[in-house]
Amino acid sequence: MRRDMLPWNLLGIVVTLGAWEIGGRMLGDGLLAPPSSVLAAFPALLRDGMAGTLGTAMLQMLVGYACALLVGVPLGVLMGRSQMADRLLHPWLSMLLVTSTAALVPLFILIFGTGMAFCGALVFMASAFYIMLTAYQGARGVDRRLMAVARSFGATRMQAFRMVLLPGLFPYLVTGARVGLVHAIRAMVMAQMFVMVGFGGLIAQSGFDPSTAGLLGLLVTIMLASLVLNRALDAAGHWLAPWYRASKAGH
């Protein structure tokens, strides 16, 4: 987003909110609650313990997501640096990338039950392979000449990894982490909605309310949570490595 486009950004938001408000008033709360009604529904949502369930859901999501990072990044880098690993792992990666998380839900319920293990496993499966893919693309793309320079200056394998590969890889890792996070949050909500617990359960149940204000309030909440987490990850990327630019590795 460029600075000089800020007025246009704001205009887009204002027009959308305005259209939503007008459309919502015309259609009524049952079909589309306007932003004013959604705002009014927040105290009730908070009273029902929305914040707590959201926190628990996010914590569970982070467990599965952390596992996905721990597995996806090393495997992806390995695939990018070793041709043999690439040949052996690539078919699995492409297969698991196209596997819809939703299709795994019934299977995972049978295997893991409906508790935390189920949610964590689903989050893991949803995010690990995107993280692996970006790490792979990053490791493959690191300039061979840079590695050769490091070698000829007598860098050990470890030093070459730490000083050349890792900085070059970093933008990709951050991008992978961000894409993975989007999928992790989606999977978390999906898991909870299917078994009707936690925050996803609240969303599923609010579908039965006569007014859509509560439902929209929950959607806005999860949207904000997702945006905040994504921003935090981006900021962490900048802080850890100032040379990192999110746009460099694409999305």
Partner 1 sequence: MSTSLSEPRARPVLARAMRLRGASAGIWPALSILGGLLLWQLVSLGFSDFILPPPTAVLQRLGDPAYLAELGAALALSLGTMVAGFAVAFAVAVPLGTVMGRSPRLAAAVEPVLTAFYAIPPVALVPFVVIWFGLFVEGRIALIFLMCFPDILVVTLAGARDISPRLIAVGRSFGASPVQMLRRVLLPASLPFLFAALRVGLARAITGMITAELFLAAAALGGMMKTSAEAFDNAGVFVIVVLVCLLGLAVQSGVRRLERRMLHWHMEDNR
Using CA atoms, how far apart are residues 194 and 109, in angstroms rounded to an integer? 10
Task: Choose the stretch contacting partner 1; rule: CB under 8 A; options: 62-70, 91-99, 145-153, 155-163.
Answer: 91-99
Shortest spacing between CB 17 and partner 1, in angstroms:
9
Cβ proximity of 218 and 57 under 8 Å? no
Cβ proximity of 200 and 191 under 8 Å? yes
Q: Would you mind telling me the total number of residues written for the chain in this entry?
A: 251
Structure tokens at 54: 């959201």
What distance, in Å, lies between the first and last C-alpha atoms of the chain?
Answer: 14
Cβ proximity of 101 and 62 under 8 Å? no
Is residue 50 a contact point for partner 1 (CB under 8 A)?
no
Is residue 156 a contact point for partner 1 (CB under 8 A)?
no
Is residue 230 a contact point for partner 1 (CB under 8 A)?
yes
Query: Which of 16, 159 has the CB closer to partner 1?
Result: 16
Query: Which of 149, 236 has the CB closer to partner 1?
Result: 236
Cβ proximity of 182 and 1 under 8 Å? no
Using CB under 8 A as the binding criterion, the count of chain residues that bind partner 1 stands at 57
* Contact set for partner 1, span 1-40 (CB under 8 A): 1-2, 5, 8-9, 11-13, 15-16, 30-31
Is residue 135 a contact point for partner 1 (CB under 8 A)?
no
Q: Chain-centre distance of CA 96, in angstroms? A: 17
Is residue 200 a contact point for partner 1 (CB under 8 A)?
yes
Residue listed under structure tokens 């819809």: 100
Cβ proximity of 190 and 130 under 8 Å? no
Task: Choose the stretch contacting partner 1; rule: CB under 8 A; options: 108-116, 142-150, 162-170, 241-249.
Answer: 108-116
Among 82, 94, 156, 159, binds partner 1 (CB under 8 A): 94
- Identify which of 240, 234, 139 has the alpha carbon closest to the alpha carbon of residue 177: 234
* Residues of this chain that bind partner 1 (CB under 8 A): 1-2, 5, 8-9, 11-13, 15-16, 30-31, 84, 87-92, 94-95, 98-107, 109-111, 182, 185-186, 188-190, 193-194, 200, 203-204, 206-207, 212, 215, 218-219, 222-224, 226-227, 230
